[in-house]
Amino acid sequence: MFENEVAICIKTADGTVVSFFVPADYVKSFSGPDDKAIPVEVVDRNADFGVVTLPRRTFEGSNVATVPARALRFA
């Protein structure tokens, strides 16, 4: 990890946690210090899940993850 990077951990829809580093300016704050998000590309979604392309490859090997729909926030 470099000085200008932060560690990101995401819980996927199946409960697995994936992690990776991104530049600190990728992280956006919303209503409070614990309400943060990173930009992703939504590839597919339904009422329960969203398939997203992450900004970096995870340490677990992929840059695609299936996340709960409630984890998605649209600007």
In the chain, domain spans: 5-23+37-71
pLDDT bracket for residue 1 (50, 70, 90): confident
Residue-wise pLDDT for 8-62, tens only, equals: 999 999 999 999 999 999 999 887 777 889 999 999 999 999 999 999 999 999 9
**Is 0.95 topped by the overall pTM?**
no
DSSP 25-53: GG-EE-SSTT-EE---EEEEE-SSEEEEE
Q: Closest Cα partner for 7 from 25, 27, 21, 17?
A: 21
**CB within 8 A of 59, min separation 6: which ones?**
18, 19, 20
The predicted structure's pLDDT at residue 66: 98
